[in-house]
């Protein structure tokens, strides 16, 4: 499982996940807020299955940034 979630993306995922879970726990948005577990976990593990399907990778490194960089075989 190669990491495909970069720094800013990771921070945003963790923050959004925690906010959604917090709102759900306080009954502000209902049980749907617990969907925040998904961005929280993808941020913590730095891996997004959807990014893998579409060939995306955020962050720096030798492969550049963003989706469609065409460098799947060059990344290690």
Written as tens digits, the pLDDT of the chain (76 aa) is: 789 999 999 999 999 999 999 999 999 999 999 999 999 999 999 999 999 899 888 876 545 445 555 555 444 4
Cα separation of 48 and 25, whole Å? Answer: 25
Cα 76 to Cα 11: distance, rounded to the nearest angstrom: 23
Contact yes or no for 18/44 (Cβ under 8 A): no
Long-range contacts, 68-75 (Cβ 8 Å, 24+)? 75/2
pTM score, whole prediction = 0.75
């Amino acid at each position: 499982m190669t990491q495909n979630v970069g720094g800013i993306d990771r921070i945003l995922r963790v923050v959004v996940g925690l906010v959604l879970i917090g709102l759900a726990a306080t009954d502000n948005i209902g049980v749907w807020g617990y969907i925040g577990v998904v961005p929280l976990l993808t941020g913590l593990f730095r891996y997004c299955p959807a990014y893998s399907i579409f060939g995306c990778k955020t962050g720096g490194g030798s492969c550049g940034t963003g989706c469609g960089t065409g460098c799947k075989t060059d990344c290690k």
